Amino acid sequence: MTCFERIRENRFILIMRRIGVKYVSDAAKALYEGGVRAYEVCFDPSDPDSVKNVQKSIETIKTLYGGSVSVGAGTVLSPDGVDAAAEAGAEFIVAPNTDPDVIGRTKERGLVSVPGAYTPTEIVNAYKEGGDLIKIFPILPDGEAYLKNVISPLSHIPFIVTGGIRPDTVKKFLDCGPVAVAAGASIITNADCISGEYEKIKRLAIAHTEVCMQQ
């Protein structure tokens, strides 16, 4: 199964942001038991150790689950970030913005490109630049009306939704027609990992993924 096929089948991407490297293995296991099959490990531009930490986290998840999951990198803001993620085994590259250089390098490396956009012009430009999936961001929990309006004339463009995904909003956003939705803080935080709240993380993951698999 390709990365794109796995995302399309499971319809959910877990955003792993600012999770300490030493917690990633236990967190990934709890998330996997909760139905997660696509992990986005985010760079932190304010952290000088971010590249090393993201690479280690990607490698850890890939070692645990191999070809049964897809692992990508998020908040990728430069071609160097694409290269760092690719070297660690990332299969998809997510950004909050549309940068032609990032998209170009992603395609050169044979990875799935997921640039961020919000307005109709931004969405179309991201797709024209080579984005495989367009991340419509940020969408707030009550943003489905905007999403429906903006997507209606752009139904040929595959997209994902991030920014307002919670157990109570998953279905209404999936009903807008995205390939997948993505969420992070509504499932996992570093504080929960520090406290060893892995059953809670698993339970919250199930609350999201079960809805996705029913759609």
Q: Counting beta carbons within 10 angstroms of the beta carbon of residue 46, is it exposed (0 to 12), middle (13 to 18) or buried (19 or more)?
A: exposed
Give the separation between CA 9 and CA 180, rounded to whole angstroms.
9
The domain locations on the chain are 3-214
pTM of this structure:
0.97
pLDDT, residue 1, reads 86
Residue ranges of the chain whose pLDDT lies below 50: none
pLDDT, residue 214, reads 86
> Residue 49: which residues within 8 A CB-CB, separation 6 or more?
none
- Which H or E run includes 58? helix 50-65
Q: 191-210: string of b/e by CB count within 10 Å (b at 16+)?
A: ebbeeebbeebbebbbbbbe
The sign of the torsion formed by the CA atoms of 113, 28, 35, 199 equals: negative
Q: Counting beta carbons within 10 angstroms of the beta carbon of residue 15, is it exposed (0 to 12), middle (13 to 18) or buried (19 or more)?
A: buried
CATH of region 3-214, choose from 3.30.1360.200, 3.20.20.70, 3.90.180.10, 3.50.30.30: 3.20.20.70
| Structure-token match 């139905």, residue found | 35
